[in-house]
Structure 1
Amino acid sequence: MSGLTLKQFQEQVSELLLRHRSLLDVLSKSQQSSASVNRSVIKSVTECGCITLQANKQPYPDDLSLEEAKALIQTHINGELCENCVDAITVQLGKHLFYLSSLCNLLNLDLDEIIDKESKKCSTLGLFNLS
């Protein structure tokens, strides 16, 4: 992030957030931005075609080691995002981060601390953190 910390980004968002200062507004904009991220990814498949999906049931044999399972489980994605789709998805993810930061600001939460706690939880719980 070019030296920009999450804390600085969260402060920047706080200064810019004028129109949607209501918690309800921010919640609805966050939901809308999440849907826009999903729509951008979907358009990469349905309109651009730079990626395709081939989804099927994932094999989960009981006798696999973790490393074997990681190698066996697929993303269902074929191809790579083109430059236009990368740009479109990046824009939508940026907007989503903006509203996530806004939500944190309104609730007096520190995004850095949230990420730090989640990272520690992932490190501590390891595979048991999988959902």
Structure 2
Amino acid sequence: MDRNTISIDNDINLDNFQTQVDDVLIRHRSILDIITKLDEYTSRINRAVIKSATYCGCIEVHATKQDYNKESLEEIKNNMENHIKGKLCPSCKDILLEEIGAYLFYLSALANTLDIKVSDAILNEYKNIKTLGIFSLK
């Protein structure tokens, strides 16, 4: 699998996105700025999910203890709960798309600063989870 197979649609792939980020990033080029922006957008994503439950109400969180007392990893995997009831409404989904997009922007900026290709990181992780499968235990 080469880098070009990871594409968002027919016109853009991850490498193109990462190049575009490098072209437009001006104010927050310092690694210190980038790291704090990543932290900020992690918080904004968390806040948007929480507001979907507490303000909008389109989703509900019903957290309970996970059941790890199964015979196999496959059974454990199939019985794990995400604790979400309902679906994001269009408004909440739009907000999360925006926040996740900004996070990906700054993740790409961090990768650029450290001379890492995001597509290489994704391919590396893909190979690991493909090889280990359910035994990657993530």
The CA deviation at 1:70 is 3.2
Confirm whether residue 62 of structure 1 aligns to residue 67 of structure 2.
no
Establish whether residue 97 from structure 1 lines up as the match of residue 104 from structure 2.
Answer: yes
Distance of 2:79 and 2:127 partners within structure 1: 27
- Give the Cα–Cα distance (whole angstroms) in 2 for the partners of residues 111 and 65 of structure 1: 30
The residue that corresponds to 1:22 in the other structure is 30
Matched residue type, 2:105: F
Q: What TM-score do you get using the length of structure 2 for normalisation?
A: 0.89
Q: Is the 8 A contact 2:58 2:86 kept in 1?
A: yes
In the alignment, what sits opposite 2:132? 125
Pick the aligned partner of 2:83 from 67, 72, 76.
76
Task: Give the AA of the match of 1:128.
Answer: F
CA distance in 1, matches of 2:85, 2:76: 19
RMSD (Å), alpha carbons = 1.2
Moved over 6 A (4+): none
Structure 1 portions without partners, runs of 5+: none
The alignment status of 1:8 with 2:16, answered yes or no, reads yes
Q: CA deviation at 1:109?
A: 0.4
Normalised by the length of structure 1, the TM-score is 0.94
State the Cα distance separating 1:14 from its structure 2 match. 0.1
- Do the aligned residues in 1 keep the contact of 2:73 with 2:134 (CA within 8 Å)? no
Q: Aligned pairs, how many?
A: 130
